Structure 1
């Protein structure tokens, strides 16, 4: 498996976390991979063979060739049908709302074809350019030109949402909305509405995802001597609370996560 990340142009760095590519050779016995929430919105292009996205234990759909994956709050499985070659744009939680008029909440927990967001003609042209590009750097140039042309004025990212996301990320999800708004408590309802519009989930839900990210990284990098230590360092109330949240977002326990074959892809993202 070859997973690489690339940094965005400085003019887009406040909205885009990174670009990433994934290449996995075809095998006779492909493994299902469990994808866990990470708080980001992805715009992905499938350049290789089709990829299955399981909707139940046995049923699946084929992912669109070009799609946006909105906020996810539960794990799901994907499985390649052959060779995997993909290119993706990873947006910060509030980032994608600057490029699309589609309500961000409507994108949650599913893959939405980019044609449904940008229109058939624009989406077809973008997809064709990405597919026919000679390498990753050319793809980055194409998608950045597309996004820069759609970018609104920078002040369209509402400060109250941006500041909340920044505070959650700076504290690994370990700050309360009451603390963030301690000088302006009357704005809590306004924040909830704007979060739903620009991020797609609530501040509390995003905080839980970000905190789990921190714990996952510790678990994968073996920074914690045991689960109790990781729970303490990640500001969970206790080990039981940590395990409960872990199972909610990944579907398995922390011990099952480590070394699990169908978690290799998610593990690569979190490392």
Structure 2
């Protein structure tokens, strides 16, 4: 069984995000980029499936700018066998929308015929949380979202999902799309020898046109702004004054 893992290049989660002076978007110039943390968890789970003998090959896919090669090399260093880069934008500020990504992934799935697609539940840059669900709809495959536990047994997979009320366990038929949550696993660090080996692993480069997909944006960002700064606190002299202030704030 092949495992396909889409990964996205995003601003590193340790970096403080800055908005452009003209409010047209987030400033990505000279900013450290890395693999989306949820996608990193998906890569780790795919590698664990291979180590457990439940998968033969792990394929990492990234759709975006040419610089996403670095993200794919990280996935290869972690243990993925090969990678596919779909260059769909020239500007790092151009974000490929979920539907276009899902259409490209569908074309890749049709070519590669994986038994499972493991993806992050969302990207930390736009928080869309839509690509996995759209891909499931386009393929007509079953899906398990927000997975905190995954067990594959023959032609079925048991998925424990993180939902608002707690945990939900479902059984889905294979092939399937699984979007992973934070508590599924702890991603491994890529060792130096594996980083060196990753440079020799195959990385195919394609374009969106190769798959016949139009990536022209359908959404327009009208403005981006920093959140309001936190207001200063108020020091009160007694419990009665605190209660009075709370009532005052609650009445506003």
Q: What is the TM-score when the length of structure 2 is the normalising length?
A: 0.25
Higher strand fraction (1 or 2) = 2
**Which has the larger share of helix?**
1
